[in-house]
Structure 1
Amino acid sequence: MEAEFEIRMVSELKYFFGFQINQMEDNIFISQAKYAKNIMKKFGLETVKSKRIPFATLVKVTKDKDGKSLDISAYRRTIGSLLYLTRSRPAIAHFVGDYAIFQADPKESHLNLVKRILKTALGLYVIDK
């Protein structure tokens, strides 16, 4: 490629589309820790302690017809942020998908569980730095 195009390396790639990239001699480390920290700040959860507890995989997710309704756009922003985070945390993809289906009529109970996903998923990162 260098024969046909002029290529120059300005500097080593450090951050790209929300991913932190650390290039070493024999491997490359990719992380979304900075993005995760920004999510916590964005949704006012930076003072909340992260949790390292597993989710129950057999819990039935319901519509919660009697629950208190929420602002749809805020719920969608939260789900969207989590969907992007699943690129480096595929373990949360199932749970995010379960609550993404409630974007048309989210309830307070759904938001509480989405925040639990945030705390659990982000607990896997070192947020104290």
Structure 2
Amino acid sequence: RGGITIKQTSYINKILKETSMMDSNDAKITMDPGTKLVKEEDGNSVDTTYYRSLIGSLMYLLHTRPDLSYSVGLLSRFMQDPKAHHLKAVKQVIRYIKGTKEHGIIYKKEGGWKITGYSDSSYGINTDQGKGTTVIVFYFEESPITWCTQKQPTVALS
């Protein structure tokens, strides 16, 4: 009431139909704690075009879903040679969006002009290269206005 709501429910339904996951169980989180995603020489390869298509669809959702930013950013690192466990992690994210498809961003009409920013970084989470991940989000009042997740350019030693 008294503002703008931006969400992509129809687009999420389209993803669910295209992946035949309309009847899948919802996931409570985008990625299980302790999940280790690494590049592997061995392992069951999956269709690269299909994997890239799924990542592209999830990236489009990032316009209204900053909660997906970390997991989608991490999964996008494996588009060159995705394996079965990478695809399994992508499907976990899709199961998460199924259960949260009504989520979006609300910009309220009333309120002040408070801008708040947060950042966080992980240390050595990328075991392939030793590079961490930085996450940044800025809020206007209680609503996110910009966010970013990216692999750090250098290896942090501490």
The TM-score normalised by the length of structure 2 is: 0.59
Aligned amino acid, residue 114 of structure 1:
V
| Residue 28 of structure 1, CA deviation | 1.8
Partner residue of 1:111? 87
Which structure: greater strand fraction? 2
C-alpha RMSD of matched pairs (Å) = 1.8
Which structure: greater helix fraction? 1
Q: Please state whether the residue corresponding to 1:93 is helix, strand or coil.
A: helix
Task: Indicate the percent of aligned positions where both proteins have the same amino acid.
Answer: 33
Q: Please state whether the residue corresponding to 2:73 is helix, strand or coil.
A: helix
Partner residue of 2:42? 66
Point out the structure with max Rg over C-alpha: 1
- Partners of 1:89 and 1:121 within 8 A in 2: no
1-side partners of 2:62 and 2:22: how far apart?
Answer: 20
2-side partners of 1:55 and 1:70: how far apart?
Answer: 19
Aligned 1:32-43 pairs, distance under 5 A: 32-43=8-19
| Residue 65 of structure 1, CA deviation | 2.6
Question: Where does structure 1 lack aligned partners over 5 or more consecutive residues?
Answer: 1-23
Q: Which runs of 4+ in 1 moved over 6 A?
A: none
Question: Where does structure 2 lack aligned partners over 5 or more consecutive residues?
Answer: 103-158
Q: Please state whether the residue corresponding to 2:78 is helix, strand or coil.
A: coil
Q: For the structure 1 residues 112 and 64, does the alpha-carbon distance in structure 2 shift closer, same or farther, using more than 3 Å as the test?
A: same
- Partners of 2:26 and 2:99 within 8 A in 1: yes
